[in-house]
Amino acid sequence: MIDWYPVARKFLFHLEPEQAHDLALRQLGRLHDLGLLRHLVPAQVADPCEVMGLSFPNRVGLAAGLDKDAAHIDALGSLGFGFLEVGTVTPQAQPGNPRPRMFRLVRERALINRLGFNNDGLDRFLAQVQKRRWRGVLGLNIGKNATTPIESAAGDYLRGLDAVHAWADYVAVNISSPNTRNLRLLQQEQALDALLHALRARCDQLDRGRGRRVPLLVKIAPDFEDDGVVVVARALLRHRIDGVIATNTTVSRAQVQGAMHAAEAGGLSGAPLLEASNRVISSLRQALGPGFPIIGVGGVLSADDAAAKMRAGANLVQIYTGLIYSGPRLVRDAALRIRDATPTVH
Ligand SMILES: Cc1cc2nc3c(=O)[nH]c(=O)nc-3n(C[C@H](O)[C@H](O)[C@H](O)COP(=O)(O)O)c2cc1C
């Protein structure tokens, strides 16, 4: 199949990044509705595996934030991913930060964003999720509104969990965006303990009520000091959390010093994040032991990067920025490389 993405990318990269993002998703949706998309993208790689009691067709998923309102599930589901994660959704709709708030660091194959959870809120999010036809593994990622004081954050997450539980294959609790003030304080021991205790209890209750166990995952940052990762790992075990997603974007600029847009505030994603994110995954694997599910994300721009993430200790891999720079072909290449590198006993 001809790789048409480099041509599309050339055009899209002439547009302002957020405009390009919206246009690309709209066009993808159109192509899907016309029944053309499946002729334009490589077929899904078959590498079936079980993680957290869920059956995945392959180990490469879409990371949260690309489809915040769950408005493009069917189109994105036909790009060959083994699973999709949509959101972050907050209880109430909110506009996010003023534009511009997304920047391309092209040479570095990176992005900086400070979107700030712009989204249409839970009700519209759920309406979209319920409309979907795609039947693959779907993770729903929940967050807190910017106006909710951090001391009341648990209330927002509980509202999110209550609302999405019936529709999610797994729920991801995002406490690691750098663009919502103080959000990352929830990764500190005491606050994390209180939050995870409340979420675990509520999720158990919802699971019992529906007779279905929905895995509860926590998404963490790459920016920890000292033994911060170990503190988080212990809390995950203590509260019987089902998995961890590592990592979100970084606030560090060490890898992009002097680059265009490097001084913009926000979270850095893409190639410069790979090593830091892999270090966190390795530390998590060491602290959590061999059986604990880890979804590795951050800086996968090539099939080799995906394989490196698995070697660092991930069970599944997600992609966001790599899709912008390399296109849908990366999904197939990464899934194939992982399949070829993983022993058949999964
Ligand atoms: C523009 C943009 C928006 C994002 N929004 C979210 C979000 O809403 N929720 C979330 O959990 N992660 C969000 N992320 C983080 C990604 O899911 C991912 O963790 C991070 O970008 C690292 O992966 P990558 O290097 O493959 O992009 C966002 C990333 C980008 C680039």
Indicate the domain borders of the chain. Answer: 43-339
Task: Quote the pLDDT of residue 346.
Answer: 42
Task: Quote the pLDDT of residue 344.
Answer: 53
Nearest CA among 152, 111, 125 for reference residue 268: 111
Q: Using the mean position of ligand 1's atoms as its centre, give its distance from the Cα of residue 247 in Å.
A: 9
Atom of ligand 1 minimally distant from the CA of 113: 1
Closest residue to atom 7 of ligand 1, CA basis: 65
The model scores a pTM over 0.85: yes
Contact 91, 121 (CB under 8 A): yes
Exposed/middle/buried for residue 203 (C-beta within 10 Å: 0-12, 13-18, 19+): buried
Closest residue to atom 24 of ligand 1, CA basis: 298
Q: Using the mean position of ligand 1's atoms as its centre, give its distance from the Cα of residue 202 in Å.
A: 26
Q: Using the mean position of ligand 1's atoms as its centre, give its distance from the Cα of residue 161 in Å.
A: 20
Residues flanking ligand 1, CB < 6 Å = 63-65, 68, 88, 102, 111, 113, 115, 117, 141, 174, 177, 219, 248-249, 269-270, 273, 297-300, 319-322
Probe ligand 1: pick from 103, 269, 325, max atoms within 8 Å of CB? 269
- Calpha distance 24→242 (Å, rounded): 34
Using the Cα atoms of residue 172, residue 175, residue 176 and residue 177 in order, give the sign of their dihedral. positive
Q: Using the mean position of ligand 1's atoms as its centre, give its distance from the Cα of residue 318 in Å.
A: 10
What CATH topology corresponds to 43-339?
TIM Barrel (3.20.20)
Q: Using the mean position of ligand 1's atoms as its centre, give its distance from the Cα of residue 210 in Å.
A: 31
Q: Using the mean position of ligand 1's atoms as its centre, give its distance from the Cα of residue 65 in Å.
A: 5
- What are the structure tokens assigned to 254, written together? 């060490």
Closest residue to atom 13 of ligand 1, CA basis: 65
Q: Which residues participate in catalysis according to the annotation? A: 177
Atom of ligand 1 minimally distant from the CA of 277: 22
Rounded to 10°, the helix 228-238/274-288 angle is 50
Atom of ligand 1 minimally distant from the CA of 110: 25
User: Which helix (DSSP H) or strand (DSSP E) does residue 103 occupy?
Assistant: strand 102-105
Closest residue to atom 4 of ligand 1, CA basis: 65
Atom of ligand 1 minimally distant from the CA of 219: 11
Atom of ligand 1 minimally distant from the CA of 88: 8
pLDDT per residue rounded down to tens, the chain (346 residues): 778 899 999 999 999 999 999 999 999 999 999 999 988 888 999 999 999 999 999 999 999 999 999 999 999 999 999 999 999 999 999 999 999 999 999 999 999 999 999 999 999 999 999 999 999 999 999 999 999 999 999 999 999 999 999 999 999 999 999 999 898 988 888 999 999 999 999 999 999 999 999 999 999 999 998 799 999 999 999 999 999 999 999 999 999 999 999 999 999 999 999 999 999 999 999 999 999 999 999 999 999 999 999 999 999 999 999 999 999 999 999 999 999 997 654 4
Q: Side-chain half-sphere of 85: how many Cα atoms within 13 Å? A: 27
- Helix/strand/coil percent split, the chain, to 5: 45, 15, 40
